[in-house]
């Protein structure tokens, strides 16, 4: 790996301030997935596999075109196919590119106990540093989108990196580049939100999708991957996109109040022991052989 | 009880240990960057061979072309400067690296004789000579000098030519020159652009 570095703004398992945080301004990068123009060709799946040199994952067949039920440690980008009945009895075929959402407030990073195993760069990309990963799998429980996947051989967890190698060198992510229908877009978060809102308005005003909207869930602080949906009131229909994702309360409780209470208890114990030692000296054994001091 | 020097040192040590456990980490806030695997790779422009759309691709090859190096393909992706696909590729095109680095890729000419049930290896020279011989034979047998009304037509109806989407302008120019000079009428190309 290169010794060159990227500035980070969040570090997992890291107590205290993050040195250098907020010292440089940088645009947040964002992927926009327009599910209304996705044709389910899976070019993004293959581009991801090819760019990341991932070993091929076994595909499964479950009566849809979907490659496999969920993403895997060696399959980071999955098109989910869903048939949704409409009110008039016809069907709508919904396709959604499922991958890491690169949350502004990542549940995986909050849950991770290993210092620096999960970082968020200043451009918003959430990246796993496998050399620091201890394989505990807490990130899997912390993720509201079911994205990080454990590799039983290496005992590490893997997921989409938003092509941080390409983005840091001025390229776009591999999946975005491949998309032949132009349903995937890449740019700054502001630009992508503009584009998404424009497209949603177009869908509402000209295409009869009254509930069309943008999926950028505030429960995780917004995401680095946003969707344009035909029906933003029912994201669950798009292969289980959570309507209001948030970091699990257990992770929140454990990582903020409980953690500090635990730290305080430990510190208090140490201080107490030290003060006791200074005030009373070492423990003396009365009924026996060895009496150290006094 | 006044703290002695010894007590002060003990207290400092305990405090330091506590601080390091409870998190005063002075390590810089940087994370290692993933290396860009095509950073210094050689770029070769090419055309996707699969369908008739003829998307432009860039083949990234390890090595800078130095004498002692046998280059190998590390990545293939769309050519953003190509007017047809502007960098995009379909799933088949995206997997072109698997097409290039494939043990089942055909690297030599083969021939399947009439009535045979298998492909046999043939040397390039033999293949070209044999094609020439068959072309000559077919053309001699099917050349039409005058049509039914007596108009001079000079056409060869027994041979057809079809090109592929990866053929270049220059190649197609030569193909048309050669085929027209033999009187071919049935000239086609798979590409639809």
Instruction: Write out the E strands in B29-135.
Output: 30-32, 42-47, 56-62, 72-78, 110-111, 120-121
Write the DSSP string, A102-133: -BSS-HHHHH--STTSEEEETTS-EEE-GGG-
Residue in chain B nearest A51 by alpha carbon = B75
Of all helices (H) and strands (E), which one includes residue B172?
helix B169-181
The chain B residues in contact with chain A (CB within 8 A) are 1, 3, 7, 10-11, 14, 17-18, 21-37, 39, 75-78, 80, 85, 87-91, 93-95, 97-98
Are residues B93 and A266, on separate chains, in Cβ contact within 8 Å? Answer: no
Write the secondary structure of A39-99 as one string of H (helix), E (strand) and C (coil).
CCCCHHHHHHHHHCCCCCCCCCCCCCCCCCCCCECCECCEEEEEEEECCCCCEEEEEEEEC
Q: What is the dihedral angle through the alpha carbons of A246, A247, A248, A253, rounded to the nearest 10 degrees?
A: -130
Q: Please compute the mean of the pLDDT values over residues B101-109 and round it to a whole number.
A: 92
- Angle CA(A24)–CA(A28)–CA(A29) in degrees, nearest 5? 130
Nearest to A19 among B28, B89, B98 (CB): B28
Q: Which residues of A touch B19 (CB under 8 A)?
A: none
Q: Please name the residue of chain B whose CA is at the shortest distance from the CA of residue A182.
A: B88
* Interface residue of A50, A56, A163 to substitute, partner B, most B CBs within 10 Å: A50
A169 closest CB neighbour out of B36, B80, B93: B36
What tens digit of pLDDT does each residue of B176-189 get?
999 999 999 999 98
Which one of A3, A14, A169 has the shortest CB-CB distance to B25?
A: A14
- What fold is seen in the domain A8-247? Alpha-Beta Plaits (3.30.70)
Q: Does ipTM come in above 0.95?
A: no
Look at residue A20 in the predicted model and tell me its pLDDT: 66
CB-CB: which of A2, A49, A178 is closest to B33?
A: A2
Q: Which residue does chain A place closest to B24, by CA atoms?
A: A16
Mean pLDDT over residues B29-47, rounded?
82
Q: Which pLDDT value is given to residue A201?
A: 96
Q: Kindly report the nearest CA distance between residue A280 and chain B, in angstroms.
A: 10
Q: What is the pLDDT of residues B149-161, one digit of tens each?
A: 999 999 999 999 9
Q: Which residues contact A93 (CB under 8 A, 6 or more apart)?
A: A40, A81, A82, A83, A84
Nearest CA in chain A to B13: A274
d(CA A40, CA A62): 16
Q: A161–B33: do the CB atoms touch at under 8 Å?
A: no
Q: Who has greater pLDDT, B108 or A2?
A: B108
Q: What is the mean pLDDT of each run of 10 residues along chain A (294 residues)?
A: 60 78 83 95 95 91 90 95 90 94 94 91 92 93 94 95 92 95 95 96 94 94 95 92 90 84 92 92 73 55
Tokens of A50: 């090819």
* Beta-carbon-side half-sphere exposure of residue A139 (alpha carbons within 13 Å): 32
Q: How far is B101 from chain A (nearest CA, A)?
A: 12
Question: Cα(first)–Cα(last) distance of chain B, in Å?
Answer: 95
Name which of A142-146, B11-15, B47-51 the model is least confident about.
B11-15
Structure tokens at A211: 């509930």
Which class for A105: exposed (0-12), middle (13-18), buried (19 or more C-beta within 10 A)? middle
Q: Quote the minimal CA–CA distance from A204 to chain B in Å.
A: 28
pTM for this model (two decimals) = 0.81
Query: Are B65 and B71 within 8 A, CB to CB?
Result: yes
Mind listing the domains of chain B with CATH numbers? 42-100 (2.20.25.90), 123-189 (no CATH)
Most confident of A222-226, B28-32, B34-38: A222-226
- Rg, chain A, Cα only: 24
**Residue A188: per-residue pLDDT:** 95
Number of residues written out for chain A = 294
Best B53, B91, B96 member to test A by mutation, with max A CBs in 10 Å, is B91
Query: Within its chain, how far is the Cα of A54 from the centroid?
Result: 19
Cβ pair B32:A274 closer than 8 A: no
Of the partner residues A6, A42, A165, the one whose CB lies closest to the CB of residue B91: A42
Residue of B nearest to A161 (CA): B34
- Sheet containing B152-163, strands listed edge to edge, beginning at the edge strand earlier in sequence: B143-146, B152-163, B184-189
Smallest CA–CA distance, residue B69 to chain A, in Å, is 22
**Res B92 pLDDT > 60:** yes
CA A10 – CA A21 distance, rounded (Å): 8
What pLDDT sits at residue B5? 83
> Across the interface, which of B18, B29, B95 has its CB nearest the CB of A19?
B29
- Per CB-CB distance under 8 Å, the chain B contacts of A130 are none
- pLDDT at position A1 is 34
> What are the boundaries of each domain within chain A?
8-247, 256-294
What pairs with residue B57 in β-bridges?
Answer: B46, B78
Q: How high is the pLDDT of residue A3? A: 36
Look at residues A73, A96, A36 and name the one whose alpha carbon lies nearest to residue A240: A96
Report chain B residues whose CB lies below 8 A from the CB of A21: 29
User: Using CA atoms, how far apart are residues A269 and A263, in angstroms rounded to an integer?
Assistant: 10
Residue numbers in A near B33 (CB within 8 A): 1-2, 4-6, 164-165, 168
User: Which residues from B are below 8 Å from A14, CB to CB?
Assistant: 23, 25
């Amino acid at each position: 790996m290169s010794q060159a570095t990227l500035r980070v703004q969040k570090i997992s398992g890291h107590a205290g301030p993050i040195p250098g945080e907020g010292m440089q301004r940088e645009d947040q990068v964002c992927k926009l997935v327009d599910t209304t123009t996705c044709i389910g060709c899976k070019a993004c799946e293959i581009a991801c596999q090819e760019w990341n040199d991932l070993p091929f994952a076994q595909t499964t067949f479950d009566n849809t075109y979907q490659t496999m039920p969920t993403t895997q440690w060696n399959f980071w980008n999955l098109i989910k196919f869903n048939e949704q009945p409409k009110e008039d009895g016809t069907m709508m075929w919904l396709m959604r590119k499922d991958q890491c959402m690169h949350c502004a407030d990542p549940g995986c990073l909050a849950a991770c106990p290993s210092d620096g195993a999960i970082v968020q760069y200043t451009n918003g990309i959430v990246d796993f540093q496998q050399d620091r990963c201890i394989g505990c799998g807490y990130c899997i429980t912390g993720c509201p989108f079911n994205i990080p996947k454990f590799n039983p051989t290496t005992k590490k967890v893997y997921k989409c990196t938003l092509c941080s190698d390409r983005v840091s060198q001025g390229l776009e992510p591999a999946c975005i580049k491949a998309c032949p229908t132009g349903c995937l877009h890449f740019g700054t978060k502001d630009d992508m939100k503009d584009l998404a809102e424009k497209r949603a308005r177009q869908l509402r005003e000209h295409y009869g999708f009254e509930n069309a909207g943008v999926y950028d869930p505030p429960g995780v602080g917004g995401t680095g991957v946003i969707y344009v949906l035909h029906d933003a009131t029912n994201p669950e229909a798009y292969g289980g996109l959570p309507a209001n994702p948030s970091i699990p309360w257990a992770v929140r409780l454990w990582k903020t109040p409980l953690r500090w209470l635990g730290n305080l208890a430990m510190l208090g114990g140490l201080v107490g022991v030290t003060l006791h030692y200074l005030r009373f000296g070492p423990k003396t054994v009365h009924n026996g052989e060895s009496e150290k001091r006094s | 009880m006044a703290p002695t020097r010894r007590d002060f040192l003990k207290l400092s040590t305990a405090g330091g240990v506590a601080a390091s456990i409870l998190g005063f980490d002075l390590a810089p806030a940087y994370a290692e960057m993933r290396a860009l695997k095509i950073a210094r790779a050689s770029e070769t422009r090419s055309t996707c061979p699969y369908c008739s759309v003829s998307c432009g691709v860039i083949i990234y090859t390890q090595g800078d072309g130095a004498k002692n190096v046998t280059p190998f393909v590390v990545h293939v992706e769309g050519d953003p400067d190509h007017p047809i696909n502007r960098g995009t590729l379909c799933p088949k095109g995206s997997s072109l690296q698997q097409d290039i680095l494939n043990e089942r890729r055909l690297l030599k000419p083969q021939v399947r004789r009439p009535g045979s049930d298998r492909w046999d290896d043939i040397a390039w020279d033999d293949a070209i000579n044999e094609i020439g011989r068959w072309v000559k034979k077919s053309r001699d047998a099917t050349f039409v000098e005058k049509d039914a009304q007596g108009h001079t037509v000079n056409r060869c109806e027994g041979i057809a030519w079809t090109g592929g989407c990866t053929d270049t302008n220059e190649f197609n120019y030569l193909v048309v020159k050669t085929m027209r000079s033999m009187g071919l009428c049935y000239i086609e190309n798979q590409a639809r652009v």
